[in-house]
Amino acid sequence: MGRLTQRARVTTYRLADPSRLADPMKNRVAPGAGGSSGVAPHGGSSGGSSNGSSGGSSNSSSGGSAGVGQKGTQGASGSVLTAPPVLVTRREDTLAVEEPLEIRLGHKPFSVTMRTPGNDFDLVAGFLVSEGVIWSPEQLVSLRFCAGEDEQGRQTYNVVEAQLSPGMPLPDTSLERNIYTSSSCGICGTASIDAVRKASHLPALDPTAAAGTLDVQLLASLPDRLRLEQKVFDRTGGVHAAGLFTHAGELLCLREDVGRHNAVDKVVGWALREGKLPLQDAVLQVSGRASFELVQKAALAGIPVLAAVSAPSSLAVELAQDAGVTLIGFSRGSSLNVYAHPERLQAQQ
């Protein structure tokens, strides 16, 4: 198991009085009235020196922090505009780890994705579902880490081999798919848009069969429930989250990753390995925007509702309409927008 987070040195620049930027007229001073065209050090002298002062130096710090003083610029009317002073802090920060994961099928490389280590077997299983390779737990015989070491000789856990059941065809690798997939794009390697409109092997989603079964108030509460469980985000502020909820609001599974598509693959892979596909009574809540690929992943896993805290793309809405997925965007506690198949929702008015 690789690390989820790592430490890094960071320098933070903070405006001491950001409100002064809102109205530049408040910062306007007449020439010769105490303004300086240079950089005045923190605690600078009344003489206005830009290089030093009796109070200290702009290059020194106490307790890991230092102040950078005001900088003046000449205005059109001859007056001087002064920016607010800047406080500088040097400290350690916690970052989300991003590392490559190579996925192998039949002892051959299939794909490489950039991900946050953790729940890698779920990630691989969900990725294979999203690629239309498998759709049932019986089709996945085993998952194992392959040998791989870093320059210090430590196991990297960055290669996973999946063994499919006998008779399962391996995917066609002649579709000019790039082997590399970044953490920001799950389908960038696919040769054409037609190749990602994969036919689902699960029962088709029928919005009319579940009309009026999902409470709007419960849906609106899911982003906050998701956020409460984002432990890696609490430490880093740098990962996406995907959560599977029941129609009663129970959290079934939550996964975090630097890639939003990876987070979704991880919850889908968990569901596959637990024998829960298709997820016909589940809601998939994600922390970012709703892209085409996320709608596709939801449809291929039999998930009828996808809700996002940000906007959907035009292609995501088009696919959701075609696939029978209820697509929700801008779900932020007090309101939400439904872009496809609102018939599943019920609202108490």
Active-site residue numbers? 185
161 sits in which H/E element: strand 159-164
Tokens of 161: 């081999």
149, with CB counted inside 10 A (0-12, 13-18, 19+), is: exposed
- DSSP reduced 3-state for 227: helix
For CA atoms 223, 128, 130, 249, the dihedral sign is negative
Helices (H), ranges, the chain: 120-130, 193-196, 216-228, 231-236, 260-273, 292-300, 314-323
Q: How far lies 168's CA from each of 5, 64, 79, 103, in Å?
A: 37, 59, 77, 17
CA distance 229 to 224: 9
The encoded tokens of residue 245 equal: 């909820």
Instruction: Report the candidate in 115, 140, 131 with the shortest Cα–Cα distance to residue 297.
Output: 131
Structure tokens at 38: 């240079």
Q: Is 196 helix (H, G, I), strand (E, B) or coil?
A: helix
